[in-house]
Amino acid sequence: MQSQFHSGIGHTIKLKDVDGQGQGLFATEDLSITDKVCSLGYPTMMAIGTEALPTTCYSCLTISSPAQALPHRGIEPLALKVCTGCHVVRFCNKNCQARAWSAYHKYECKIFRKCGWNFFPPHVVRAVMRIVLLQDKGVLPDEEWTQITSLTSHEDIIRESGPSNLTMMAEDVRFLAKSTMSLEMIEKLIFIMRTNQIELLTSIYGGIGSMVDPLLSKFNHSCAANVMVYRPHWTMSSGWMSSTELSEEERMTFLKVIPLRNLREGEELTISYHPPTSSVHERNAKYKENYYFECQCERCISDLKEETKLRVHQPDMTARFRKWEAQTRHNLQQLGLRSSAVTETIQSLDDIQSFLNTPSLYTTGTFPTACGALVGHSAGIRAFDQTLINCLRLYFLVYPYRFEGKHNPSDRRIMITLLEVFDALLAPSQDEVNDHQKSLQDLSARGLSRASLIYWRERICADLRRRLESSAAKDLLVLVKRWYEPTGEPTGVHGIQQEVAEEAMRTVLRLDESRWRDVLAACGC
């Protein structure tokens, strides 16, 4: 498999110096939200996360089982065959195995076999080790090596802080690869990986590892990013790189950069290095730790101003919310340790009602983290009512205020999870039947009837379709088409009026009427 490294940056963007930030990428023309910014090939410097290796093809990077709230739903199951050499990595077919073997796995296979699962290298070590092996064997293109080694590494800053586990990783790479490359160069590659890595994406189910791409590394950060990295749906099909049903351009494209809104000529293009749902202080702690900068984007400035205003004008509310946050954080830490922590965390989330008319409090604090944690935990124990409620909290109360673009990855993922939970409640599989009835009863006790669920399933499905159709991610309509069909329930308004269904949702979310109108307008559902 020859690396499809892109040395050019295309006609739509150009690299320019940015005051205080080195370089950045800028639009050379007006770009519509339905346009792509650029395309990128299969990454060379990448590694699948250890936990994702059993469910991911080691060649085409399609997945057999998505890491989502309801793993039995979604994509069709895919049987992967384990490598008979290392007994660690897996492939979806012989073609993928042959491509990976000739490109890189023949250099790694014996190393992986010697390590075994108990001592298997972490993904950063494996990503750097692959580059070292390919460079030592003389099969890495010179241009790609130059582009990668020219990336910002922050090695001077890291070295000044003294010995670290990054140096130990470099020693592990050199030992495992039996490399003649200098330890200093391998350390530099480790530093480059640490500074420039981004998620190795799936189309809709989140990340499965880490990767470095020289072009993506040139995009500067903003918590209000205007573009995003996006993996097209066809790259989730088994053996897509050799498919005769795809065009040559599609076979050469693993990722795209697409707009989150309309872009103007001369505008700097930015991506988000960290989800902006955490507080401005937590975000900047991450940026300082990993990237050695403090973000001063418009969102961070706005958050700091709002925080100061609340502290001055509503000190009692701010103090009470901080107390609530501390208790919720404690409950979250106890989720896997004691069963009562689930009930306590659910109760603490319900207790947030007094803060719901001040969204800047709960959108930037612990609230989004608590909701996200309970989505996964409650789905694992088949408490579908809590899974649904916490997905709804994110969809209505958090994401519209924190993410640019209605088709951003977080919004897409929460909407797809919502639709899967709706289906678990309305059209349960055989192994869900025993759990869905209790969840329906609990939701009904909160005011959300079965008719309301049917109504909101259809409405959120239409919202997802609308968002994708008006974006450069419209090819994902192929992946989500299964929700366009009804669940077998009556069509139309399903015997419930819009006003009744909306009132039921308002009651579940515990919002007053004016706040609910604001939420609906912000969500755009």
- 8 Å CB contact between 24 and 217: no
E strands present in 412-512 = none
**Average pLDDT for 72-83:** 74
Q: Which of 72-81, 84-93, 351-360, 417-426 has the lowest mean pLDDT?
A: 72-81
pLDDT at site 113? 96
92 CB burial (10 A radius; 0-12, 13-18, 19+): buried
- 8 Å CB contact between 227 and 37: yes
76 Cα distance to chain centroid: 21
pLDDT at site 163? 67
pLDDT at site 493? 46
Question: For the chain, first and last CA: distance in Å?
Answer: 43
81: helix, coil or strand?
A: strand
CATH topology of domain 280-523: 1.25.40
- Sign of the Cα pseudo-torsion (294, 298, 301, 303, in order): negative
**pLDDT, tens digit, for every residue of 265-306?**
999 999 999 888 888 998 999 999 888 889 999 999 999 999
**pLDDT, tens digit, for every residue of 146-173?**
999 999 988 888 777 766 788 889 999 9
Of the pLDDT bands very low, low, confident and very high (cuts 50, 70, 90), residue 486 is: low
Residue ranges in 351-398 assigned as alpha helix (H): 359-362, 367-380, 384-393
Helix (H) or strand (E) holding 13: strand 13-18
Residue 409 Cα distances to 205, 236, 435, 477, 497, angstroms: 9, 16, 29, 14, 32
pLDDT at site 6? 46
The candidate with the shortest Cα–Cα distance to 360, out of 277, 443, 476, is: 277
Question: For the chain, what are the domain ranges?
Answer: 13-271, 280-523
Residue ranges in 334-427 assigned as alpha helix (H): 340-350, 359-362, 367-380, 384-393, 399-402, 409-426
